[in-house]
Amino acid sequence: MADLDMNNLNALVGKMLGDLGGAFSVPTVRIGFRLGLFKALADAGPLSAAALAQRTGLAERYVREWAMAQACNGYVSLDPGTGAFFLTPEQAMVFVNEDSPVYLAGAFDLAAAMIEGEPKVEAAFRNGGGVAWGDSAGCLFCAVGAFFRPGYVNAIVQAWLPALDGMVPALERGVRVADIGCGVGFSTLLMAQAFPNSQFIGYDFHGPSIEQANAHAAAHGIADRVRFVTMAAKDIADRDFDLVTMFDCLHDMGDPRGCAAHIKGMLKPDGRWMLVEPIAGDNPGDAVGNPVSRLYYNASTMICVPTSMAQEVGEALGAQAGEARLTEVLKGAGFGHVHRATEGPFNMVLEARP
């Protein structure tokens, strides 16, 4: 065994303390979301632990320990002079404002879902099989939808669609759009609300997700011009779409190449495919030390690769496939023009044309 470098060891242990503190925070933060503790502090803070407990109707001893845990996390603030707890505007962006681009309730639910699914994924490590979408945890699909929603709320209409030249005017006039892998429907509904003259169909192979999507459409009063269908991508028979969108899901599919070829056949000759995928470098070394890649590689290990491996072909692109590999998949399916239209801190947007 090589001699230990104590400086390196101490640095690693210090990093691990920070990482474990974040991991230990997952259940307490989820409790804070579900019981309205963060919201109460945002609405009425600063509050003592006793006042926070009274406002939320919860047991004071638990609330006091919870509030100190969040203060130690840095997720709420503590006035040491008065002992009162409060949220800064920045903390409220993360823990209270549901339409903030950095609202992270879904991220904590996703972490919990990955822990719940751990035994099934471990079994897949041993047998080389997969874990079907929806099977690894009780409501993984809910957590994934909630995780991606803030980004979609702040980017689809404002940045991603405008990055496709002429697409926004076309949507305003009225076109046919297929949103494949729509999940619980957040992406489809955001587009349908923004462009009332266009028609939208959301497709997903997971029935419970489509049930939620249809319920969301009815609740928003737009079920007359957006509908959701339970169907695998390669089984879609509808054709002549002006635009196909796919948000954070091609890499989850068992046969992304077959799906890409099928999508080409769904488009009009001048139609376009907007493919949104997690941002990633093309070389593995680019990911090391990158906090976004760290999140995506861990999620990909626990969710994306097992999901793909449970389907036919099981190519398992993974959530960090990178632009070069994705472009190769699309061009191999017959798309003559593929380019990165835009990007954000968590996603890249590729435009593909026949």
Instruction: Give the mean pLDDT per block of 10 residues along the chain (354 residues).
Output: 87 95 97 98 95 98 98 97 97 97 96 96 97 88 91 96 98 98 95 96 95 91 90 96 97 97 97 96 87 95 97 96 96 96 95 96
CATH topology (fold) of 6-95: Arc Repressor Mutant, subunit A (1.10.10)
Q: What six digits make up the tokens of 92?
A: 């409220």
- Scan for tokens 């945002």, then name that residue: 42
- What's residue 1's pLDDT? 60
Dihedral sign computed on CA atoms, order 263, 245, 250, 277: positive
Give me the amino acid identity at 229: V
Helix (H, G, I), strand (E, B) or coil at 278: strand
> What is the residue extent of each domain of the chain?
6-95, 152-353
Beta strands in 81-230 (DSSP E): 84-86, 176-180, 199-204, 226-230
Q: pTM, whole model, 2 decimals? A: 0.92
Q: How many CA atoms lie within 13 A of 53 on its CB side?
A: 13
Q: Are the C-beta atoms of residues 157 and 194 closer than 8 Å to each other?
A: yes
Task: Report how far residue 276's alpha carbon sits from residue 279's, in angstroms, rounded to the nearest whole number.
Answer: 9
Buried b (16+ CB within 10 A) or exposed e, 280-304: beeeeeebeeeeebebbbebbebbb
Peptide bond into 46 cis (omega under 30): yes
- What's residue 284's pLDDT? 86
Helix (H, G, I), strand (E, B) or coil at 280: coil
CATH topology (fold) of 152-353: Rossmann fold (3.40.50)
